Amino acid sequence: MRIKWFSLIRITGLILVLTYHFFQTKLTGGFIGVDVFFTFSGFLITALMVDEFGRSNRFELISFYRRRFYRIVPPLLISILLVIPFTFLINRQFTTNIGGQIVAALGFTTNYFEIANGGSYESKFVPHLFVHTWSLAVEMHFYIIWGIIVFFIAKTCRRFSTKRALPNFRITLGITAVVLAALSFLMMDFGTKGLTDFSKIYFSSTTHSFPFFVGCLFGTMGGIKYQPTLFKKITRYINRYLAISLMTICALYLLYLSYTLKFDQVQVYQGGLLIASIIAGVMIIGARILHDQTTNIAEPRWITFLADVSYSVYLFHWPLYVIFSQLMKNWQAALLTTILSIIFSALSYYVLEPLIAGKNVHLFYDSLRWSPLRLLFAGSTLILAVVTGVQIKNAPKLTTLEQNLWVSGIYQSVDKIDNLHGQILADSQSKDGQNVSDIPKGVTIIGDSVTLGTRQYLSEHVANSDIDAEGERTMDKAYDIMMSKQRSNLLRKEVIICIGTNSLDDYELQMMKIVKDLNPGHKLIFMTPYNSKAESDWNSSKLTVLEKKLPEKFNFITIANWDQVAGQNPEVFAGTDGVHFGGRLSGDELYAKVINTGLLDAKKTEVKK
């Protein structure tokens, strides 16, 4: 039994995800489209489970897993095989560890693969081509756990009379869904504490499974064929226009959330995703009611088509977009990605998937049998598998930027050992009565991953510099580093703070602590952060504005305008996340030039009194 207008739920989720990936700076909260999918999956799966139990008084777990396998795995495998040949069009950096990505995708562990490798949903450095399959991993984990739970609930409820078995089954599922949704949401809420990058709790199956269970709850309330008596009574008082209004209001609210939410906002994980899931659930109920109220109206074929291919479009769109965005303008990449994704998805859903399942293919009203296509299908699959194997074998293990970060981290560790030796020596001299209060000459640079990526070049091209850089470093951590060096008399005369891309909400407070607690005798240089994707209301952008006003108030502060210079040289960031410059020498040179210019400007200022 196909429910009309459920297609609109799938299409809504797909549009939100596509527009978010294509125009991330505009539709900053479009990632909630994934939660719309999650909620719908939870609803549909649970409603079908209720139908199966109502029909046969049992739930067949193996059959459930078999259906899920054929719906999820073949399209995934097809998308990987068809996408890999396109990777020959772009830099090898984008195939870094592609073998690990494919294994994680097919093993439904991409979410934990990304967590283990420090991956980010808003792709840092060079984006992984199959990072989007994290959602399939969460979905598969949900199917496995929920299937087992429902199996045992069904066995228990079978002991009741036929009249009470289905209501008890439905109520038990609903209560279980509420408990599991609450546990998952609370784990996400508590997990936000102390985080600046929320990818870890966003990817995790334990913290991000609550949308499924919200959908499960709605599935027990609405259902498909076997509906609760109360639901039937309520729907009698809701006509098609009220149902359409309900769906429209929900869709508009989801669109509003997609424009207002941002991935780095803690509020997203402390209620934003839960609200989006509940709204999606209400929209699903609206569609279910509209189905009953439009018995004489057929769902438009184009809506059904888009719903049919939506899952495969999701699989194809991200890697194709990453590839095409390196070859053409963004709008062109988005358009070509959409067209090819729909074509490949239609081929997958209507032809290849039925063939894999051993079914006849109905194409343009003609029935195609498996036997004549067997050789063509097997040969094409073999060729694509060989191509994929070649790319896996030739793929680099690390990107150039990651290699630079790794090497720079080693050099920094060596320097820290040397600094520790100097600190011990200074303490020893202090005990012998020698004066160590004089500020060391030279430059102390305190930076984040951008600085770490070019650390070796800076050490050779910024005279007498001591560099301390670390990925994900925020202004409060930079303050701690500065104070530690200051207490140890290792903080040099010119202090450069290259922090800001990872800006927390208290960025102004932390910045002013640095200004206030820097000892007299130093000069302070703030290097403004740069992110090509940042809007004016991002914390990093607001921090830049504040930093540029500081020299008007403090005569010992100078600004190194990295945001301005970087913005004038976009080619340095081609093919990157718009923050790091991928280990390019031109980026190293530009970064060092801005720092040295800032030091020259600082010579014209006084030290802190």
Q: Are 27 and 258 in contact (CB under 8 A)?
A: yes
Q: Are 113 and 101 in contact (CB under 8 A)?
A: yes
Q: Select from 219, 228, 232 the least CA-distant residue to 168.
A: 228
Tokens representing residue 557 in the block: 């502060």
What percentage of residues in the chain have a pLDDT greater than 90? 59
**pLDDT of 93:** 78
- Listed in order, strand segments (DSSP E) in 324-405 are 361-363, 366-368
Q: Are 341 and 313 in contact (CB under 8 A)?
A: yes
How far is it, in rounded angstroms, from Cα 358 to Cα 278? 38
**pLDDT of 584:** 81
Range of weakest confidence among 19-23, 67-71, 137-141, 534-538? 534-538
**pLDDT of 214:** 97
**pLDDT of 86:** 95
What is the Rg, in whole angstroms, of the alpha carbon atoms belonging to the chain?
Answer: 28
Q: Are 463 and 492 in contact (CB under 8 A)?
A: no
pLDDT band at 140 (very low <50, low <70, confident <90, very high): very high
pLDDT, average across residues 165-191: 94
How far is it, in rounded angstroms, from Cα 143 to Cα 150? 10
**pLDDT of 536:** 81
In this structure, the number of other CB atoms found within 10 A of the CB of residue 128 comes to 28
Walk me through the domains of the chain, giving residue ranges and CATH numbers: 12-394 (no CATH), 400-602 (3.40.50.1110)
**pLDDT of 371:** 62
How far is it, in rounded angstroms, from Cα 573 to Cα 581? 5
For residue 385, pLDDT over 70 is answered with: yes
For residue 382, pLDDT over 60 is answered with: yes
Q: What is the DSSP string of 562-603?
A: HHHHHHT-GGGGTTS-SSS-TT-HHHHHHHHHHHHHHHHHHT
108-136 tens-digit pLDDT: 999 999 888 776 665 555 678 999 999 99
Determine the Cα angle at 581 with ends 544 and 593, to 5°.
65
How far is it, in rounded angstroms, from Cα 515 to Cα 166? 67
> Which residues, at least 6 apart from 509, have a Cβ–Cβ distance to it below 8 Å?
none
How far is it, in rounded angstroms, from Cα 56 to Cα 546? 67
**pLDDT of 358:** 74
Q: Residue length, the chain?
A: 609
**pLDDT of 437:** 54
409-427 tens-digit pLDDT: 555 565 555 555 555 555 5
pLDDT band at 283 (very low <50, low <70, confident <90, very high): very high
Q: Are 47 and 2 in contact (CB under 8 A)?
A: no
DSSP state, residue 538: S
**pLDDT of 431:** 44
> Which residues, at least 6 apart from 453, have a Cβ–Cβ distance to it below 8 Å?
401, 404, 405, 408, 580, 581, 583
Q: Are 28 and 310 in contact (CB under 8 A)?
A: no
User: What SS3 state is found at 90?
Assistant: coil
Which has more confidence, 179 or 163? 179
How far is it, in rounded angstroms, from Cα 170 to Cα 190? 30
**pLDDT of 369:** 61
**pLDDT of 2:** 81
**pLDDT of 432:** 42
**pLDDT of 145:** 96
Q: At what angle do helices 162-191 and 32-56 cross, to 10 degrees?
A: 160
**pLDDT of 24:** 79
pLDDT, average across residues 30-49: 96
How far is it, in rounded angstroms, from Cα 544 to Cα 536? 10
Mean pLDDT (the chain) is: 87
For residue 379, pLDDT over 50 is answered with: yes
How far is it, in rounded angstroms, from Cα 472 to Cα 410? 17
